[in-house]
Amino acid sequence: MTFDQHAAAATGSSHESAPQRVVTVVQHAGDIPLDRFAEWLDDGVQVRIVRVDLGEAVPASAAEVGDGLVVLGGERSAYDDAEWPWLPATRELLASAARSGVPTLAICLGAQLLAVAGGGRVQVAAPPGVEAGAVAVRWRPEAASDPLLGPLVAASPAGAVLPSLHGDSVVELPAGAVWLASSSMYPFQAFRWGSAWGLQFHPEASPATVAHWARQTPGVDADAVEAELVAVDDEVLASGRLLAEAFVAIVVAGELAGARTAP
């Protein structure tokens, strides 16, 4: 069975009777949490949060994360090792997970770290500027059969509106990565490399959380961002929950042995 067949089958199965699985979450900052995903993931897996900003150690390899891995966002760049000295270990962990078949979800900075870990490239302060607020994400053809994005594509085939706040951007994917989604401002909104997904948008974030980040971002109208997200929150909420449930189903199905394809 291929990776896609194995994981697609997983998303259609019930996890209620499965043994409890463990997902490790790497959190870079106190104000960039799991947010809504804390409830949605907890419905199917046991979550273990590693606060690297408080001195907790990044797991040394994918073998130490349990059954799945989530790497959250952060205000630093993917190359800012001097300010955040745990970033090299985080990149190594992402590469280890992607190559070993451990289901992995990397969000915003996490997605940028994943791209770099796989040999791709991130542009710091990319020329289009900060992408903030409710962003229209467009699916590429490959997304329809993707184990993580497929359920959301089925529910919203024309695309989905999702929260975003970033100025850095992935400009080159790892070799062998599958490009899954884009926006009008930045092309690489979602991709899969091995058993790891990178999402530039924030499916876990509430309007209040994104507005808090916006208030710390020069040149961004935080009140406008919050109002924009509140107006579409029913759609955002449904989309985020679908992604969280799909990820839980993949984790519950077990290690994705067929995903050991990342270079």
- pTM of the predicted structure, to 2 decimals: 0.91
Q: What is the mean pLDDT of the chain?
A: 92
**Domain coverage including residue 161:** 3-259
pLDDT score, position 19: 61
Give 123's strand partners: 169
Comparison of pLDDT for 223 and 263, the residue scoring more = 223
198-210 pLDDT, tens digit each: 999 999 999 999 9
Whether pLDDT at 262 is above 90: no
| CATH number, domain containing residue 218 | 3.40.50.880
Confidence of residue 12 (pLDDT cuts 50, 70, 90): very low
123-139 pLDDT, tens digit each: 999 999 999 999 999 99
pLDDT score, position 4: 47
Among residues 8, 7, 11, 41, the alpha carbon closest in space to that of 24 is found at 41
Give 30's strand partners: none
pLDDT score, position 225: 98
Confidence of residue 258 (pLDDT cuts 50, 70, 90): very low
| Residues 8-18, mean pLDDT to the nearest whole number | 45
Comparison of pLDDT for 6 and 116, the residue scoring more = 116
Q: Is the separation of the CB atoms in 90 and 26 below 8 Å?
A: yes
31-90 pLDDT, tens digit each: 999 999 999 999 889 999 999 999 999 999 999 999 999 999 999 999 999 999 999 999
Complete edge-to-edge strand list for the sheet that includes strand 131-139: 45-51, 21-27, 68-71, 104-107, 196-199, 190-193, 178-182, 131-139, 160-166
Instruction: Quickly tell me which residue has 């042995």 as its tokens.
Output: 257
pLDDT score, position 256: 56
User: What's the domain count of the chain?
Assistant: 1
HSE value, Cβ hemisphere, 13 Å, CA-based, for 128: 16
Our measurement of the distance from residue 143's CA atom to the centroid of its chain's CA atoms, rounded to an integer in Å, reads: 15
pLDDT score, position 254: 81
Q: Is the separation of the CB atoms in 171 and 126 below 8 Å?
A: yes
Among residues 156, 149, 246, 259, the alpha carbon closest in space to that of 199 is found at 149
216-247 pLDDT, tens digit each: 999 999 999 999 999 999 999 999 999 999 99
Q: What letter would DSSP give residue 13?
A: S
Beta-carbon count within 10 A of 212 CB: 16
Q: How far is CA 101 from CA 3, 37, 104, 197, 255, in A?
A: 9, 22, 9, 12, 6
Residues whose CB is less than 8 angstroms from the CB of residue 177 and which lie 6 or more positions away in sequence, other chains included: 115, 118, 120, 191, 192, 193
**What is the widest separation between alpha-carbon atoms in the chain?**
49
| Residues 153-157, mean pLDDT to the nearest whole number | 98
Distance separating alpha carbons of residues 130 and 128, to the nearest angstrom: 7
Whether pLDDT at 95 is above 60: yes
